[in-house]
């Protein structure tokens, strides 16, 4: 049970027991495959030592597996954003940046995190304290020739959608050239994965400890749906999967958070009007 709440200026720490909050190193660079494949010519098995980025992945995933998590699946209607595709291209050309749906998703999540600060949080090693993070440092799983990396965009709550798009381009370029800095891959508070980029729909994403929530967005699909008049039409939909740390989050909280994100994406004008 929570026995006290302490204000620390830019962050809030909810303390479950009278002991200091531990800092857990965050490893946010994952590898998806070993660099050398079995030889087709020899027809023999090949054994490799697990090292480098793959070794970091072993440590990260082992830590994540120790956390009891749940996964919540949802489906968003994104007709409005899809309808803005030509406008986004025009604005992107003017701003000299590629405006993707992902930039809107990231901003929608950040706005929803304002209403659900417990989702933008870290827990300590023995789960006796949870720290509500002031900054929305949103990690983005990025597929690269060097493996799966998760750099994060710092202070998304202060960025415009165009600013987020610029950061996405910067981090992607650095990741593809294996030049991400330590600052780029540490300090994340909440993460997202765009599984739709490789053709996926639903997923069961693993947490990035000590974060308490991660989302995976699938590809946009056209499906039959009913409009307000009961007529069938082709709706643009997007599958989303949320995984949460069940020690500190319950399914209802994540479902409500997902509903807010969905509302912002269904009506982008609401998202724009909510910006400071």
The pLDDT of residue 276 is 64
184 among known catalytic residues: no
User: Annotated catalytic residue: which of 93, 183, 250, 267?
Assistant: 250
Rounded average pLDDT over 129-150: 91
pLDDT tens digits, one per residue of 69-115? 999 999 999 999 998 888 888 999 999 999 999 999 999 999 999 99
The larger pLDDT score, comparing residue 60 to residue 236, is at 236
**Does position 186 have pLDDT exceeding 70, yes or no?**
yes
pLDDT tens digits, one per residue of 228-255? 899 999 999 999 999 999 999 999 999 9
Tell me the average pLDDT of the chain. 85
Q: With 0-12 CB in 10 A as exposed, 13-18 as middle and 19+ as buried, what is 202?
A: middle
Q: In terms of C-beta distances under 8 Å and separation of at least 24 residues, what long-range contacts does 249-257 make, across chains too?
A: 249/118, 249/119, 249/212, 249/213, 251/70, 251/72, 253/116, 253/118, 253/119, 254/70, 254/72, 254/119, 254/213, 255/72, 255/74, 256/116, 257/112, 257/113, 257/115, 257/116, 257/119, 257/213
- Joined together, the tokens standing for residue 24 give 């857990």
Taking the CA atoms of 113, 200, 65 and 23 in sequence, report the sign of the dihedral they define. negative
143 among known catalytic residues: no
The pLDDT of residue 61 is 85
pLDDT tens digits, one per residue of 108-123? 999 999 999 999 999 9
C-alpha–C-alpha distance, residues 275 and 253, integer Å? 23
**Does position 30 have pLDDT exceeding 70, yes or no?**
no
pTM as predicted: 0.82
Rounded average pLDDT over 56-71: 89
C-alpha–C-alpha distance, residues 241 and 257, integer Å? 12
Mean pLDDT is lowest, of 19-23, 34-38, 205-209, 261-265, for: 19-23
Q: If pLDDT is split at 50, 70 and 90, which confidence band does 196 have?
A: confident
């Amino acid at each position: 049970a929570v026995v006290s709440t302490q204000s620390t200026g830019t962050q809030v720490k909810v303390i479950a027991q009278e002991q200091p909050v531990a800092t857990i190193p965050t490893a946010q660079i994952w590898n998806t495959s070993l660099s050398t494949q079995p030889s087709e010519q020899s027809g023999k098995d090949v054994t490799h030592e697990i090292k480098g980025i793959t070794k970091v992945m072993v440590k990260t995933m082992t830590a994540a597996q120790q956390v009891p998590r749940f996964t919540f699946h949802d489906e968003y209607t994104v007709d409005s954003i899809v309808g803005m595709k030509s406008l986004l291209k025009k604005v992107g050309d003017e701003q000299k940046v590629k405006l993707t749906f992902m930039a809107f998703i990231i901003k929608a999540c950040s706005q929803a995190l304002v209403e659900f600060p417990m989702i933008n949080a870290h827990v300590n090693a023995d789960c006796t304290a949870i720290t509500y993070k002031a900054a929305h440092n949103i990690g983005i799983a990025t597929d690269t020739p060097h493996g799966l990396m998760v750099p994060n965009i710092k202070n998304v709550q202060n960025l415009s959608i165009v600013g987020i798009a610029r950061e996405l381009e910067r981090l992607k370029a650095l990741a593809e050239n294996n030049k991400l800095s330590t600052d780029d891959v540490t300090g994340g508070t909440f993460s997202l994965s765009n599984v739709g980029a490789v053709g996926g729909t639903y997923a069961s994403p693993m947490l990035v400890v000590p974060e308490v929530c991660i989302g995976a967005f699938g590809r946009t699909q056209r499906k039959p749906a009913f409009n307000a008049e009961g007529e069938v039409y082709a709706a643009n939909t997007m599958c989303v999967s949320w995984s949460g740390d069940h020690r500190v989050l319950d399914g209802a909280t994540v479902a409500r958070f997902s509903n807010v994100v969905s509302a912002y994406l269904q009506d982008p004008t609401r998202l724009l009007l909510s910006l400071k």
